[in-house]
Amino acid sequence: MKCHKPQTMVAGMHFVQEDFDSALLIRGYGDDGIRIGERTIHHSIIVTHRQIIDDWRPGRLEELQAADLEPVRDLGVDILLLGTGKRISFPAPALTAPLLEAGIGVEVMDTAAACRTFNILLSEGRPVAAALLLT
């Protein structure tokens, strides 16, 4: 297994040392955005082992609706990591039930942990998606 170690903080952004090359690796995350490759995204996103969906609607967990998670069913993933912002906060079970019924596991964690876990699963070649809320 490849090791990912936090390197440093710059203006509240954590950096991750990677031992492999991937355009979809989350290279940094913080209050002001998520850096994937050379691009910093300043709003909620879904990132998978194949693509970035950067027009994801909800800004906060309180705004999340079941319809926001529907696209995940068609992404060809086994697991969704739901990053709920600075703190872990669980959505209503009805929001994630359709994914569980479709055979997609859902793990809820704070966004920093979701970013780190995504990188580990990505490095293992797993079909994974992360829905990341910044606040």
pLDDT recorded at residue 66? 94
The domain spans of the chain are 43-133
Tokens matching residue 29: 């995350």
Tokens matching residue 85: 């912002």
**What is the CATH class of 43-133?**
alpha beta
pLDDT in tens, the chain (135 residues): 333 444 444 456 655 544 444 789 999 998 889 999 889 999 999 999 999 999 999 999 999 999 999 999 999 999 999 999 999 999 999 999 999 999 999 999 999 999 999 999 999 989 999 999 998
Give yes or no for a contact between 123 and 91, defined as CB atoms under 8 angstroms apart.
Answer: no
pLDDT recorded at residue 12? 60
Sheet of 45-48, strand order: 52-53, 45-48, 128-133, 79-84, 105-109
d(CA 14, CA 113): 12
Query: E strands within 11-135?
Result: 13-16, 26-30, 33-36, 39-41, 45-48, 52-53, 79-84, 105-109, 128-133
Instruction: Give the dihedral sign, CA 119/14/113/44.
Output: negative
Tokens matching residue 104: 């997609």
